[in-house]
Amino acid sequence: MNASPRIITADLLRDLATGLLTAAKVPSDTATIVAGSLVEADLAGHGSHGVRRLVPYLDRIEAGEIVPGARPEVVARRGATTVVSGRRGFGQAAARLAAEEAAGLAAAHGVGVVAIRECNHVGRLGEYAETLARRGLIAQVVGNADPTVAPYGGHRRMLGTNPMAWAVPRAGGAAVVMDWATAAMAEGKLGLLRAAGAPAPDGVLVDPGGRPSTDPDDFYRGGALLPFGGHKGYGLSVLIELVGGLLTGTGTAGSPEYDGTFGTVITAVDIGAFVPLTEYVAQVEAFCLALRGSGPGVLVPGEPEAETRAARLAEGVPVPAPVWAELAVLASRVGVPWPDTPPGG
């Protein structure tokens, strides 16, 4: 339970993840996209969306919920809008196509809005928002997910964790990035606590009877996560259901019409349609520097991830021992050799 994490280079971790996916009949180009996305999440310090997702992904393939060979496609265009179908394949491939479409629409119209239907889990939303920001765009991404969260004042699972991400460009190719779930804690982070045998913080979940709990197992027994910030997180989550869920045809998480996928909407804004890009970025950078200078502990959104990524590229990615063990079992299941890397090595 308290074993040291395995320290794995990003390149090796990416290769291992790609191997597991290709063994599950995922085409090599899609496997490369998905593995790269998962490892980028681990590099950024968001292990909830990292390689630990391989186990449920391959389970979903076996259950027929992810079609491993499906490729996303554009199914509708109108003005500054596009609809992409993920065709129930990997959401990362669909989100990458949608981000490209959004960027092209913004270049042509000043703004682009892309809805993704039949879309499985896309990974970390901040990845796509940051990609667009690095291209000189303002980006917003929202998505509704399966019902795991109770509404404010209730205890039944009616909402998804329903994340959203914003990003704007900074100087030098950096970006201000904010990516957060509207739940008090993302389910993936709760899963990491459970694997480590650690309690959840107060105010994160209720047990199946609606009583406050700090035991992660209570969620997996049928309890529910809570919105962050009480009514504020709840209100944001409701709006994401109505935008991400209904514009994509996915349905709201707590309704009989919900199709079990991840309704995602990506918006990209061409800054140059409003003010000169160079002037805007200079002002963003000045503001960020002023924020940093206002106190010794101040960081700008996106900086913790950038610092963590730089450190992990140099020193390796810590993979929790329980996650490493799960991946080893998964590798045996699909017939992929798995290295017996010692803790800390």
Confidence at residue 3, expressed as pLDDT on a 0 to 100 scale: 81
What integer best gives the mean pLDDT of the chain?
96
* 58-91 confidence digits (pLDDT tens): 999 999 999 999 999 999 999 999 999 999 999 9
Band of the pLDDT at 217, cuts 50, 70, 90? very high
* 269-278 confidence digits (pLDDT tens): 999 999 999 9
The rounded distance, in Å, linking the Cα atoms of 104 and 14 is 29
- Nearest Cα residue to 70 out of 109, 113, 25, 110: 25
Question: CA angle, corner 227, sides to 224 and 230, nearest 5?
Answer: 125
E-strand stretches of the chain: 6-8, 73-78, 81-85, 111-117, 137-144, 164-169, 175-180, 205-206, 212-213, 224-225, 263-270, 317-319
Confidence at residue 344, expressed as pLDDT on a 0 to 100 scale: 52
Amino acid letter, 147:
P
**Quick check: 335 and 18 in contact, CB under 8 A?**
no
Predicted confidence (pLDDT) at residue 195 exceeds the cutoff of 90: no
Predicted confidence (pLDDT) at residue 2 exceeds the cutoff of 90: no
229: left (phi over 0), alpha (psi -120 to 50) or beta: left
* 39-60 confidence digits (pLDDT tens): 999 999 999 999 999 999 999 9
pTM: 0.94
CA distances from 193 to 13, 36, 81, 216, 233 (A): 22, 24, 40, 7, 22
Higher-pLDDT residue of 61 and 341 is 61
Confidence at residue 233, expressed as pLDDT on a 0 to 100 scale: 97
Radius of gyration over every alpha carbon of the chain, rounded to an integer in angstroms: 20
